Amino acid sequence: MSRKFFVGGNWKMNGDKKSLGELIQTLNTAKLDANVEVVCGSPAIYLDFVRSKMDAKLGVAAQNCYKVAKGAFTGEISPAMIKDVGVNWVILGHSERRHVFGEENDELIGQKTAHALENGLSVIACIGEKLDEREAGITEKVVFAQTKVIADNVKDWSKVVLAYEPVWAIGTGKTASPAQAQEVHDKLRAWVKTNVSEAVANSVRIIYGGSVTGSTCKELASQKDVDGFLVGGASLKAEFVEIINANV
């Protein structure tokens, strides 16, 4: 089954109206591969601005959301709020939410995933092992456990993209080799086949994140089970266009 290549940009806590406006203009006018789905993750405060400026063919994502619709949860935003400004995607379970803030465990990420999907958002669900876990040989154990909690909360897999992001490769300049990325993606797809269904395993997009750049993207994109990227720092630069067009 042919899976549409997916490139997400995670802008993290970067940018202002001027710089993001310039980036949006670059994306709006660039010649982008029409066979690629592009979604940019904006800081929450700029979601409305970005969606209003970004070409309709490009998607916009929030970088996080909470597990309920409203209430006394200072600093959080809900799927309903995200939808209200015309945004249809959310990134959940990013390693920085899991590990930098130390507040998001697998169970909470599962609850957030369920609530986001129930309220009409599509989800980029992040999974990945830390360096000590890889060195201990428990990469599969970690990513399978994280994937299970997400899978338990998904009814419609067409609304979900799995993002494998080895934590040791995020923002470090280290990138999993194409072979390393392919190996984990292949095992993840096999896990989905066994634990969800063969149809979902064939259709779900599993994308790679972790210091993806213009110079590393083509070889990574050529791997059989790498269906795209979740790009951090490089998504704020002109080379993001090159990454989107990695298959051209």
CB-CB contact of 149 with 106 (8 Å): yes
The model's confidence at residue 173, banded by pLDDT at 50, 70 and 90, is confident
| Residue percentage of the chain with pLDDT more than 70 | 100
Task: Report the alpha-carbon distance of residue 93 to residue 82 in Å, rounded.
Answer: 17
**Cβ neighbours for 75, distance < 8 A, ≥ 6 positions apart:** none
Mean pLDDT score across all residues of the chain: 96
Radius of gyration of the chain (CA): 17
Residue 156 burial (CB count, 10 A): 9
Helices within 123-197 (DSSP H only): 131-135, 139-151, 178-195
Q: In sequence order, what E strands does 44-92 have?
A: 59-62, 89-92
Q: Per-residue confidence at 171, pLDDT binned at 50, 70, 90?
A: confident
Using pLDDT thresholds of 50, 70 and 90, give the confidence band for residue 46.
Answer: very high
Enzyme catalytic residues: 94, 165
Q: Is the pLDDT of residue 201 over 90?
A: yes
Using alpha carbons only, give the angle 23, 232, 75 rounded to the nearest 5 degrees. Answer: 90
Its pTM stands at: 0.97
> What domains appear along the chain, each with residue ranges and CATH number?
5-244 (3.20.20.70)
Q: With 70 as the cut, is the pLDDT of residue 1 above it?
A: no
Q: Is 87 a residue whose pLDDT tops 80?
A: yes
Q: How far is residue 103's CA from residue 75's CA, in Å, rounded to a whole number?
A: 14
Q: How confident is the model over 7-37, as pLDDT tens digits?
A: 999 999 999 999 999 999 999 999 999 999 9
